[in-house]
Amino acid sequence: MKFWQFLQDQILGMKWLNALIGNGLEAMGIDTGGRIGGSIQFFVYDVLKITVLLCVLIFLISYLQSFFPPERSRRILGRFHGIGANVVSALLGTVTPFCSCSSIPLFMGFTSAGLPLGVTFSFLISSPMVDLGSLVLLMSIFGARVAVVYVVLGLAIAVIGGTVIEKLHMEREVEAFILSARSGELEVPRQSWRERVSYAKEQMLGTFQKVFPYILVGVGVGAVIHNWIPERWIETILGGDNPFGVILATVVGIPMYADIFGTIPVAEALLAKGALLGTVLAFMMAVTTLSLPSLVMLRKAVKPRLLALFIAICTAGIVAVGYVFNTIPFLT
């Protein structure tokens, strides 16, 4: 138990870094107990912490992802049928890119390759919602129990959503150019460990360059919430006194665009100010899974009816997860 607490607080949460930054700021004459000093400490600490976790996680997951290029993933998925294929597809989604916009090209490639539509949608739902990075980052803030349950419920949404789409036979709702672009068999290149390391390094640097601006914005918003917005405001809007807080957080999160790294500091600040855990997690899921840019991209591949069904399934699942976390004391 002490080991897991140490892992969460000092390795993943890097509380030692927070204390170090606080001591450094105070040595410079900055009052970290005040709003301005507290905001500076929150900003520096969260930017450094998330940057370190971002680089380490992306490097490790990209190295793992090098074993599952699109063609190999397609072959793996092609061996399974029924709900088993949806489960495997959702699990494969955990080792793919971190944001929904990056997942859509893979979804389009899988669909063009002739994989069942429900299977490809299970992948599309799980990829941004429950990747391995989200598991580690959630552990750093909320603990292992919350992180594991979050991932399990996210995978359940992906499997159920893909199964529903498969049962409704929505193939006609896919744009014709996707269905006509059937790809043939491609040779999966063998890579040495040096090539895999080089690939992981390139992915890390490329993703960092794209994600870092969102980290700065997310941490900045989190610092404002943490030190400037009165606690009673957050409790009134997103606390236990508002039964519609989960729905509100989901609706607010959908138009935004960020990934798990940009939403973590906002979620952390909201939770510290009295927002319910399920409400915060629903906000994070909505931002990472149903961002407006990703929906615009997805509309190019599917027709409005299928797009609306995808949004409805994800929204219903996210709201359900939020209320599960808010109503079960074991999870808080």
Domain boundaries along the sequence of the chain: 2-183+209-331
Of 198 and 111, the structure prediction assigns the larger pLDDT to 198
State the pLDDT at residue 43.
Answer: 92
Share of the chain above pLDDT 90, in %: 27
Give me the mean pLDDT over the 135-143 stretch: 80
CA dihedral 44, 147, 133, 60 (to 10 degrees): 110
Task: Give the residue from 151, 162, 149 showing the smallest Cα distance to 129.
Answer: 151
Mean pLDDT for the chain overall = 83
Task: Give the residue from 284, 278, 292, 224 showing the smallest Cα distance to 259.
Answer: 284
Give me the mean pLDDT over the 164-171 stretch: 91
- DSSP 8-class letter at 8: I
pLDDT at 313 over 90: yes
pLDDT, tens digit, 9 for 90 and up, residues 56-85: 888 887 888 788 776 777 777 778 778 888
pLDDT, tens digit, 9 for 90 and up, residues 209-266: 887 888 888 888 888 888 888 877 777 888 877 889 999 999 888 777 666 777 888 8
pLDDT at 157 over 90: yes
CA dihedral 157, 162, 165, 168 (to 10 degrees): -110
| Signed CA dihedral, 19, 23, 29, 33: sign only | positive
Neighbours of 323 (CB within 10 A): 17
20 confidence band (pLDDT: 50, 70, 90): very high
188 confidence band (pLDDT: 50, 70, 90): low
State the pLDDT at residue 320.
Answer: 94
State the pLDDT at residue 286.
Answer: 87
Give me the mean pLDDT over the 1-5 stretch: 69
CA dihedral 103, 265, 272, 293 (to 10 degrees): -40
State the pLDDT at residue 97.
Answer: 56
pTM here is 0.79
pLDDT, tens digit, 9 for 90 and up, residues 100-123: 566 777 788 788 877 889 999 998
267 confidence band (pLDDT: 50, 70, 90): confident
Neighbours of 98 (CB within 10 A): 25
Rg (CA), the chain: 20
Give the CA angle between residues 214, 217, 218 to the nearest 5°. Answer: 80
Q: Collapsing DSSP states into helix, strand and coil, what is residue 121?
A: helix
State the pLDDT at residue 330.
Answer: 60
State the pLDDT at residue 268.
Answer: 82
CB 321 within 8 A of CB 157: yes
> And the tokens for 181?
């672009």
Alpha-carbon gap, residue 196 to 178, rounded angstroms:
30
